[in-house]
Amino acid sequence: MQKLLETFLIGLSTGSIYALMSIALVLVWRSTRVVNFAQAGQAMLSTYIGFEIATRTEIFWLGLLCAIAAGALLGAGVDYFFMRVLFKHAVSGPAAVVAPVIATLGLLGLVRSIVGLIWGGEFKSIKAPASTDGFTIGETTIPFSPLNLLIIVTVFIILIALAIIFQRTNLGLSLRASAYAPEIAQLAGIRTARTRTIGWAIAGGVGGVAGMLNTASNFLSPYSLDLLLVFGFIAAVIGGLESMVGSVVGALILGIALTFILNYVGTSLVFIGGFVVLIVVLLVKPDGIMAKGRARRA
Amino acid sequence: MRKKLALFILLGWILLLIGDRVDELRVYQGAQIAMYAIALSSIVLLTGYSGQVSLGNGAMMAVGGYAAALTLNNLGSPVWFAFVMAVFVSALFGAFLGAAAARLSGPYLAGTTLALAVGLPEIANQFDFLGGVPGLLFDVGFPPERLGEEFTQYKWFFWIATFLALLSLFITSNILQSRYGRTWRAIRSNSLAAELSGVHAGRMKILAFTISSAIAGLAGAVLAMTISLVAPGAYTLALSFALVTGAVLAGVSSLPGVVFGALILVAIPEVADVLATRWGGDENLNNYLPGLIVSVLLILSVIFTPNGPGEKLKSRHHKKA
Amino acid sequence: MIRKTRVKGTWLAATVLAVGSLFATALPAHAETGVSSSEIKLGITLPLTGAASPGYNKVGNAMNAYFKYVNDNGGVYGRKITLIQKNDEYSPQLSIAKTNELILKDKVFALVGPLGTANYTSVHKSVGIAKRGVPSLFLNTGFSGFGNKKTYPTSFMILPSYAMEAKIIAQFLKENHAGKKLGIVYQNDEFGIDGMGAFKAAGTKFDVSVAYTSGSQSAATAQTWVSQLAAGGAQVVVFFGVTSATAPLLAVAAAAKYAPQWILGSVGADPLTLRALGVPLAVLNGAQTAAGNPSPNDTSDEYIKQFQEINTKYNTGTAFDDYVLQGMNIGLMTVQALRAAGSNPTRKKLISVMEDKGSTFASVAYSPLGYSKTSNVGHTGYYMAVMDANGDRKPFGGKVTLYTTNSGTGPVVVSTFKRPAMPAKGLPSNS
Amino acid sequence: MHLMSTNNAALRVEGVNVSFGGLRALNDVYLEIGKNEVVGLIGPNGAGKTTLFNAFCGLVKPDSGKLFLDGKEQDFPRTSNLVDLGISRTLQGVGLFGDLTVLENVMVGAHHLASSGLLSAALGRSGKDEKEMRTKSFSALERVYAGGLANRRADTLSYPDTKRVAIARALVSEPKILMLDEPAGGLGLQDIEWMNLLIRNLSASMSVLLIEHHMDVVMSVCSKLYVLNFGEVIASGNAETVRRDPAVMAAYLGTGAK
């Protein structure tokens, strides 16, 4: 029973980090119709910047703020200087389908190399902002720690903030409108290109948080966020790729499922576990758990 | 067709001559180029022709590699049969995968295959008969003695890899130039119109996946041969990414381009090495310069010649015409 | 149609040209590979980055520092030693590729200190180390399989094997932790399995055993190890894995307030590296470990003192820890072997002097070396040590009790072996 | 007011109902095409003409309805089986394969004629087959007077030319029934004249069903018309009958008109 509970709680904490990455992916997908594989790279670079600040000032939260800012700037920059150019050039021919995917892969590689050149490949670790000592319930101490709790709370706050932005502000309205009907949004006077860049910026900032939180309980290296990207993507697909709420639910499901696999089945099945969850969802509910009968043909 | 066959035989002969005249490192790299050429042609067929994006060809290669190693080690079969099994098993795997993939498009397919590329090689860690992290040996044996004392192991690899590459490129190019290739291009271009023309788009897509996977499986077995083992570490996400990169640099829909793409994949680390040494030989530079060069090339080519340098040439010709 | 053919032709021509130019740079071979009038080239593959890199990434630089020291003092018969380090990220496939580069492209004279069990197994087979007659000295791995002189005629171990270590720890468990519930965490490849086999042979029964996959170690996976250990009530836990796995294991266990008696294998127990990975040193307090070398802080040891001086001068900014010590020591032994091979060294000569004189080489480790015409086994024993609150290693029971054994069924015996003195100033003269 | 049905009509449907999420798109639609007959399907925008085509072609699944080919009852076909049943269809938006040559475009239409399999293709033994397909495709192009375009890339063609090629692609499978979706849409006067001629010629060897807005075309080539409005057949018969039908007048001029 206790193992069940701790697995669930840790899964929740893991899943909430996936949720951030998957939201970032969904935001970009909705605005640009691109699955941004470079999101892992952007998050990584932001996290390295946050890491530098957090290590030098010894204030984790300052590092987190800087990572958010860096992530947002980076996201906006990628859209403004990269995606716009890309869409101007790569529009037709056999590669048109693959061009955006491959471009973001290239960008991921580029950021990774740059980070590697600057910081090297060594594992870095950030001093966690909360104790990693597990909570004690009665006699026993469980691996679920204040840090895990803090991660869940932080993600929760960010999700609420995003919900407010999207539901209650003009910016949110523009973002939603541009995502669902760009032409109409344009006619309504929304500057869709700018709105899109803002969407990228928000995604970048959220990715930065994901990177920092992931690093607080783990190591940081030029490759350390790759899995986060893969799991974030799977979570987004579980949620239907369009829905932010769906992607959060998908991420939590995935996080808990994978932690159960980890605790009850075996460590090496975690990776393939993600794939299996993805395939099962695609077969059973091909449009994601939040689908309302839309066909999944691009 | 005869002409093409003659061309391939001539090419093989030239490569053999080259193999006799260069040192062992180049011979070894030659084998790698051949391996990449096979692997890239699987992407050209799948992505360039049938329009299905796969980031998981590394996983298909792993299936082929493991199938070959298991066949050779457990059945004690001749080497050629191990390669045949690599093709066969990975084709089967591709058919299953393709059946699922035919229902997906664009980003879903890319992401699903990405998850596969990450997950599949890890299965080896779960089951003992797959050898875990150290992997399984895949030993094609020493070259026949009558080839002489001077005939090294790597030259033997080079011969086998080159032969398999030429064979598979010959077959692939035939398929792509036949009605199958044409039909795939039609589906990629407009799948509804293709269906109305009597094409079973779903079935053809699965067929593309099957053939592509078979080719990738062969490449996986050749890779296993050149390093004498199959291990999860040989079929990483990085390999899948490198293949996509090579395919884009080759021009995703150009089969002759794959040789060029393969050459680049092998040459980039060399070039990076030279540059890194010249710029001071810093450790980080050594480690990350190849990645930097590849990424920059990839980005530039996606932006400026998304359909490969060949396509640019072609369209220029067309404009003149 | 014609147009298409022309484009194809261009492609073909470009490709042939490019292939040609790549191949044209091939170099002619010379007399003895890797040895010129002024230089001896050596190579090593090791993880400079990646999951397994912490700690190990210092070995190459430490060797290099020692070589620079020797070079500044006249080199080996006037030749400077150049060490080429290649990063294999602990992946067997990369090890193969990089070793190929070392042998075929950089044309090194010998490999020294290649790292990783799975890596070297694959490399040896794939690159054909033995068939090519490439000397491969002082493997940085304790896999007992490498002690097979028939399969590995040109390779020489340096570390006592994992099997020896496991047998010695098994003996120690019997003597000091009898009746307690035992647990073990091991790396699920040749490394851990080698040890497990020896434990089994020695009759040690573990109540909980946790296998982890190399590369999978992280805080998340460590949580599962700890839950299994704690659930099984293990009071003494043996750890047979790499440092990057020790770190999360100890950290997570401490966080969960699970505090068994830790017995850390020699591979994953370096306190400085653990601290760099975020493990509070206090956690290490009282942990027991098998060790072959003196503590790197023990400046009363002549080797340590000399190596520390070299480290300060030639490896500036790097803390002197077990890995640096190991690297320096390999350097020292390499230079002895090179000197012994004479002023016109060949690969054959190098191998034969290793067999003839290797067992007399000076080395920092306490135990005897086992090199001979029929054996390529290096050091053959360990002593048990305890960590203090500063992460410093103190011999268990106050003084070094050296156990020696072999990788097979031989008994574990207390040895009175006295190691050779260090050459003056750490510079081997003619031997 | 069903017409007398002849048992050997090339194609006949009865009682076709299609609805999209509760919205009825086709209601009890019937239609019949005789051999070598040219039948027009007209009606205001949104009347359900293309939906009916789609129902024939397996792109839309009818809730109910019967389909007869040559008097034999059939299930509504799957899209990719149409050609095997002797039905060819062009798309409103033409739908050529842009980066294939014109000849290749047509050859895709001849796909199902090939007899050689993958193995012979792989070994380069399908040459004979290819040659046959090429010849057939070329003559299909000639039939629409587009032989000279054979080696052009499809995305370099002018709009009227794409229409010809699309028809050639539909012809190459030698259909018994040809379904044309707005063949004259977007064409100039001269091209329309030419299209009329072509359709008349084609009807010598097959039945033609066409959706068309150009009344000139409809009146000059169709021997029978069906008028759809709000998903129902409101009139059918020869051009004169339909033209005088008050319901049709109302549909076009009254509330149904756009």
Domain boundaries along the sequence of chain A = 2-284
SS3 state at A119:
helix
> A272–B103: do the CB atoms touch at under 8 Å?
no
Query: Per-residue pLDDT tens for C257-280?
Result: 888 999 998 887 877 778 777 787
> Between C96, C100, C125, which is nearest B137 by CB?
C125
Q: What is the distance between the terminal CA atoms of chain D, rounded to a whole angstrom?
A: 26
Of C105-114, C167-176, C267-276, least confident by mean pLDDT is C267-276
Between chains, do D97 and B192 touch, taking CB under 8 Å as contact? Answer: no
pLDDT of residue C3: 45
Q: List b or e across C310-338, with b for residues whose CB sees 16 or more CB atoms inside 10 angstroms.
A: bbeebbeebebbbbbbbbbbbbbbbbbbb
Instruction: Dig out the tokens for A55 from the structure.
Output: 């290590």
Report the amino acid identity of residue A161. Answer: A
Residue B75 lies in a domain: yes
- Closest Cβ opposite residue C213 in set A121, A123, A267: A267
Q: Are A101 and B308 a contacting pair at CB < 8 A?
A: no
H or E element that contains C137: strand C136-139
Radius of gyration of chain D (CA): 19
Judged against a pLDDT cut of 80, whether residue B103 lies above it is answered with no
Task: Reduce the DSSP state of residue C186 to 3 states and report it.
Answer: strand
| CATH 1.10.10 is held by the domain A2-284 | no
Q: Sort out which chain A residues have CB atoms less than 8 A from C48's CB and list them.
A: 121
Q: What pLDDT does residue D80 have?
A: 83
**Among candidates C301, C306, C291, which has minimal Cα distance to C394?**
C291
The size of chain D, in residues, is 258
Q: Which of residues 64-93 of A touch B (CB under 8 A)?
A: 85-86, 89-90, 93
pLDDT at D47 over 60: yes
Beta bridge partner(s), residue D99: none
Q: Does A226 or B164 have the greater pLDDT score?
A: B164
Residue D32 is encoded by which pair of tokens? 């019949």
What distance in Å separates the CA atoms of residue D108 and residue D114, rounded to the nearest whole number?
10
Phi, psi for residue D252 in degrees, rounded to 5: -80, -35
Residue B5 lies in a domain: no
Mutate to test the interface with A, among C224, C229, C323 (most CBs of A within 10 A): C224
Tell me the pLDDT of chain C averaged across its residues: 85
- Residues B231-274: tens digit of each pLDDT: 887 888 888 888 888 888 887 778 888 988 999 898 888 888 78
**CB of C252 within 8 Å of any CB in chain A?**
yes
Measured in whole angstroms, the distance separating CA B156 from the mean position of its chain's CA atoms is: 20
Q: Cα A85–A88–A92 angle (5° rounding)?
A: 130
Which residues in chain C have Cβ-Cβ distances shorter than 8 Å to B24? 104
Q: Is D205 helix (H, G, I), strand (E, B) or coil?
A: coil
Looking at chain C, the whole-number percentage of residues with pLDDT higher than 70 is 92
Find out whether B249 and B264 touch, Cβ atoms under 8 Å: yes
- Which residue does chain B place closest to A105, by CA atoms? B241
Q: What is the pLDDT of residue B56?
A: 85
Q: C44 burial class (0-12, 13-18, 19+ CB within 10 angstroms)? A: buried
CB contact (8 A) between residue A262 and residue C220: yes
Q: How far is CA C268 from CA A210, C240, C260, in A?
A: 30, 7, 17
Return the sign of the alpha-carbon dihedral for residues C176, C179, C180, C182: positive
Q: Quick check: A290 and A239 in contact, CB under 8 A?
A: yes
The type of residue at B114 is: L
B116-142 mean pLDDT: 79
Residues of chain D in contact with residue B174, where contact means CB-CB under 8 angstroms, are 121-124
| CB-nearest partner of B189 from D89, D97, D107 | D97
> In this structure, is residue B215 part of a structural domain?
yes
Give me the half-sphere count of Cα atoms (radius 13 Å) on the Cβ side of residue C186.
20
Residue in the block written with tokens 């080996």:
C76
Q: Which of C7, C97, C213 has the CB atom closest to B133's CB atom? A: C213
Looking at the predicted structure, is the pLDDT value of residue D93 above 80?
no
The whole-number pLDDT of residue D160 equals 87
Is B20 part of a structural domain of the chain?
Answer: no
Alpha carbon separation from C148 to C124, C170, C226, C407, D235 (Å, rounded): 13, 23, 36, 11, 95
Q: What percent of chain D has pLDDT over 90?
A: 5
Which of the two residues, B212 and D216, has the higher pLDDT score?
A: B212
C187 contacts C168 by C-beta, under 8 angstroms:
no
First-to-last C-alpha distance (Å) of chain A: 44
Q: What are phi and psi of C395, to 5 degrees?
A: -55, 140
Confidence of residue C184 (pLDDT cuts 50, 70, 90): very high
B170, B180, B192: residue with CB nearest D95:
B192
Q: Which chain A residue has its CA at the smallest distance from B188's CA? A: A94
Note whether residue B207 is domain-resident: yes
In a domain, B307, yes or no: no
Please name the residue that has the structure tokens 């204030």.
A59
Range of weakest confidence among B64-78, B165-179, D21-35, D239-253: D239-253
User: Rounded distance, CA B9 to CA D236, Å?
Assistant: 67
Q: Phi, psi at residue D11, to the nearest 5°?
A: -145, 135
Chain A with chain B: Cβ pairs closer than 8 A: 179
DSSP C147: G
In chain D the beta strands, taken as DSSP E runs, fall at 11-20, 23-33, 38-42, 64-69, 72-74, 87-89, 177-181, 207-211, 224-229, 232-237
Reference A229, options A210, A215, A242; nearest CA is A210
- C-alpha to C-alpha distance for D164 and C252, rounded to whole angstroms: 73
Residue C121 in this model has a pLDDT that exceeds 80 = yes
ipTM: 0.78
In angstroms, what CA-CA distances link A171 with A36, A65, A191, A197, B138? 22, 21, 11, 12, 59
Are B182 and D88 a contacting pair at CB < 8 A? no
| Selected residues 133-152 of chain A with any CB under 8 Å from a CB in chain B | none
Dihedrals φ, ψ of D32, to 5°? -145, 135
Q: What is the chain A residue with the closest CA to B305? A: A90
Residue type (1 letter), A275? F
B26 touches chain C (CB under 8 A): yes
Out of A107, A227, A298, closest to residue B105 by CB: A298
Q: Which long-range contacts (CB under 8 A, 24 or more apart) does A277-286 make?
A: A277/A234, A277/A238, A277/A253, A278/A234, A278/A237, A278/A238, A278/B111, A278/B112, A278/B115, A279/B100, A279/B112, A281/A237, A281/A238, A281/A250, A282/A237, A282/B100, A282/B103, A282/B104, A282/B108, A282/B112, A283/B100, A286/B103
Rounded to 10 degrees, the C-alpha dihedral C99/C105/C110/C112 comes to: -40
Residues 159-198 of D with CB under 8 A from B: 169-170, 173
Which among C18, C94, C125 has the least Cβ separation from residue B228? C125
**Whether the predicted pLDDT of B317 surpasses 50:** no
At residue A128, the 3 state secondary structure works out as: coil
Residue B165's domain comprises 28-236
Residue segments in chain A with a per-residue pLDDT below the cut of 70: 1, 90-97, 266-268, 286-298
Contact B178 D173 (CB under 8 A): no
Q: How far apart are CA C357 and CA D188, in angstroms?
A: 98
User: What domain count does chain B have?
Assistant: 1
Looking at residue C68, what is its pLDDT? 93
Q: How far is CA A110 from CA A44, A113, A222, B114, B122, in A?
A: 12, 5, 11, 19, 26
Distance CA C352, CA C340 (A): 10
Half-sphere exposure of B317 (CA within 13 A, CB side): 17
Residues contacting C387, CB < 8 A, separation 6+: C269, C271, C284, C285, C286, C287, C288, C289, C393, C394
User: How far apart (Å, rounded) are the C-alpha atoms in residues C270 and C55?
Assistant: 8
Residue linked to tokens 């010249």: B278
The pTM of the full predicted model, rounded to 2 decimals, is 0.82
Alpha carbons B235 and B231: distance in angstroms, whole number: 7
Q: What integer is the mean pLDDT of D103-127?
A: 82
Mutate to test the interface with C, among A5, A7, A16, A123 (most CBs of C within 10 A): A123
D97 touches chain B (CB under 8 A): yes
For residues A177 and A180, give the distance between their C-alpha atoms in angstroms, rounded to a whole number: 5
Asked if B256 has any chain C CB less than 8 Å from its own CB, the reply is yes
- The pLDDT value recorded for residue A75 is 94
Mutate to test the interface with A, among B128, B268, B283, B284 (most CBs of A within 10 A): B284
* Maximum mean pLDDT: which of B109-118, C422-431, D95-104: D95-104
Q: Do B111 and A234 touch (CB under 8 A)?
A: yes
- Mean pLDDT value across residues C166-173: 91
DSSP character for C102?
I
Q: Which residues of C touch A259 (CB under 8 A)?
A: 220
- Nearest by CB to B196, which of D79, D105, D124? D79
- What pLDDT sits at residue A297? 35
The SS3 call for residue D188 is: coil
Position with higher pLDDT, C140 vs D6: C140
Q: Which of D180, C305, A109, A246 is nearest to B302 (CA)?
A: A109
Instruction: Tell me how close the Cα of B15 comes to any Cα of chain C, in angstroms.
Output: 10
Contacts of A93 in chain D (CB under 8 A): 99
pLDDT tens, position by position, C233-244? 889 999 988 888
Sign for the CA dihedral angle at B250, B252, B253, B259 comes to positive
Chain B contact partners (≥3 CB pairs within 8 A): A, C, D
| Residue of chain A nearest B125, judged by CA positions | A268
Can you give the pLDDT at residue C29? Answer: 42
Strand partners, A214: none
pLDDT of residue C80: 92
Q: Do B134 and C96 touch (CB under 8 A)?
A: no
Residue type at C216?
Answer: S
Chain C partners of A222 at a C-beta cutoff of 8 Å? 49
Cβ atoms within 10 Å, residue B249: 27
Cα diameter, chain A: 66
pLDDT band at C28 (very low <50, low <70, confident <90, very high): very low
